[in-house]
Structure 1
């Protein structure tokens, strides 16, 4: 419906000059107070007067202008396409919440950047437009030296990538997904399993993580007489799980490691519906998931799961802040944690 009074004008936001006039101080004083630089420069009463004036006017500092003055902003950008974040599971969600809270306490804002990019340079250009203080490339095309150099020239102090290594000028954050598969494979083999299926999400966006876990299971099986590892692609639907369960007798598998607990529970239910028994016995199918969800412990049989022991997010936030303050620190590999198996009744 058209407004009879005509289009409404966008209100002009209050400026620091307006705050200065209302408080009876200079704009420089307003800047010191509202940017946390008043200590030793502005008295307590004047600070209180400036804050009261800013609150009365509804004044909020302009982040873009502050970025231009400082050369970089307070954004810590976490690069992970939005359509793949739910598939990372609750472990990532919990980490992200704690990490953003810790960053806020250190004076930074964590921003999840979900725009996909076709190449490392395209990704770096999209991120550089925001003038972030740091970039954590958690997912997507691996960065190369040229992309890292572009970010640094745009004012980004710290670039961190996932994986066992990083391009020149970047730090590496490592939560070795291969180790998750290695632990799961070793556990199943120790329980007498020799023909192990590794369930991978059909989503190509998770191929890097799933491929590393598959490689870990294969590493565990290497040199074991009679050991066989077979990749199994699965859609996160009951229909896909039922089709795989129907094929199970022909596959001849006696163990299964799933990408995460949700995939494990989906296929375990389908196997049980098809008349198979899941458990630790010699004639049962051993099943291992990953992430150690609470729901895994409520199943019957209770689900064995690979648990990630993650470095607390506040420590990672402190690391990022330290790298921003010291951009010339030599690049290194920083471990995010390790994995262990929580053995239960499913395998």
Structure 2
């Protein structure tokens, strides 16, 4: 005797949970047609009036497809797991992840955010694997290992995609070149004649994965300028980069601005536009003119920076589009024979405005 994969449990009210068979009877179609319509299957041609009739019947009955049963039929889930960020990534990255989720939903994936705060790589991989996602897109806060990627794939993940600073074996790795942001900012300030340049290093937890590479990039730009000066017979020791720890609050900014002349800085790369706006206001309140006494450069090219006076110079970052990443996820899920590859992202350029 055969058994349907769809059970009919009792609701607390005593009413039976509607099934696809109920939808099929009400719509006057087969259960297969109901499945094709509600799962957005494109391989089978179904007329629009039939699709509309099935959807209306499902809505009338309050029928929702069973995710587990759907996964069994398809051989995999349609869940894409996004480990949720516990770091303040800023408007640029927030918009990117919003777009990514929207585009994945358009491709008929279910997006699930998973809080992974405090989990080690293997712990995180086991926790994610329990949900049996078809793909995992990791920002890089959890530094996945080759072993944790293999665990995810054994549990059914067809694609593991990382956005970070390193390539992880077995993943499609999108390397975010944070160092380049610091490099172009400092190169611009040096070209503007600045020689003692502060670099803001946020003290907020989790931002080190962004701020440290930007600081290293700033130092590379200073070394390059020094080497070029030495080659031209000029003073190679003319450029200094000074790390400036800063919390994202007015008290910390005011304290740093109060020591500014003692530090002898004539410019600052302020990590991003938000920290730049915070620090620039504190500098102006302390009587330090921008850009005459100190040039200020941010990053992310936020609209608000253009509304300041002076208008904020910034590093414009060409992020990968959410649509592009969603399509990469879809290709990797559909074609598991595509070998994992690495790709560098984040082309950066300075937009010079009044603050530098």
Which range moved further: 288-297 or 335-344? 335-344
Distance 1:126 1:252, change over 3 A: same
Matched, 1:190 2:223: no
- SS of the equivalent of 2:206 reads helix
- SS of the equivalent of 2:197 reads strand
Cα offset for 1:307? Answer: 0.8
Separation in structure 2 between the aligned mates of residue 54 and residue 32 of structure 1, nearest angstrom: 13
**Residues 12-37 of structure 1, C-alpha deviations (whole Å, 9 max, x = no match):** 53222322343455434432332234
Separation in structure 2 between the aligned mates of residue 12 and residue 243 of structure 1, nearest angstrom: 65
Which range moved further: 267-276 or 92-101? 92-101
Runs of 4+ residues deviating >4 angstroms: 8-12, 38-49
Structure 2: stretches of 5+ with no match in the other structure: 1-11, 227-235
Structure 1 equivalent of residue 346 of structure 2:
337
TM-score normalised by L of structure 2: 0.87
Matched, 1:90 2:102: no
- Match for residue 288 of structure 2 among 253, 276, 284: 276
Kindly indicate whether the alpha-carbon contact (under 8 Å) linking 1:80 and 1:140 is maintained by their aligned counterparts in 2: no
Matched, 1:293 2:294: no
Separation in structure 2 between the aligned mates of residue 238 and residue 253 of structure 1, nearest angstrom: 20
Give the total of aligned pairs.
Answer: 334
**Residues 74-129 of structure 1, C-alpha deviations (whole Å, 9 max, x = no match):** 12222233x32xx2111112212222222222222333333314211111122222
Kindly indicate whether the alpha-carbon contact (under 8 Å) linking 1:116 and 1:123 is maintained by their aligned counterparts in 2: no
Structure 2 equivalent of residue 239 of structure 1:
251
Structure 1: stretches of 5+ with no match in the other structure: 1-7
Structure 2 equivalent of residue 262 of structure 1:
274
- SS of the equivalent of 1:230 reads strand
- Match for residue 239 of structure 2 among 227, 231, 236: 227
Separation in structure 1 between the aligned mates of residue 47 and residue 314 of structure 2, nearest angstrom: 58
- SS of the equivalent of 1:79 reads strand
Structure 2 equivalent of residue 321 of structure 1:
330
Distance 1:161 1:47, change over 3 A: closer
**Residues 286-328 of structure 1, C-alpha deviations (whole Å, 9 max, x = no match):** 1100111111111111111001112332122112211111122
Separation in structure 2 between the aligned mates of residue 208 and residue 161 of structure 1, nearest angstrom: 14
Structure 1 equivalent of residue 127 of structure 2:
126
Matched, 1:14 2:18: yes
Kindly indicate whether the alpha-carbon contact (under 8 Å) linking 1:30 and 1:50 is maintained by their aligned counterparts in 2: yes
RMSD: 2.2
TM-score normalised by L of structure 1: 0.89
Separation in structure 1 between the aligned mates of residue 126 and residue 257 of structure 2, nearest angstrom: 45
Kindly indicate whether the alpha-carbon contact (under 8 Å) linking 1:80 and 1:139 is maintained by their aligned counterparts in 2: no
Separation in structure 2 between the aligned mates of residue 278 and residue 103 of structure 1, nearest angstrom: 44
Which range moved further: 211-220 or 122-131? 122-131
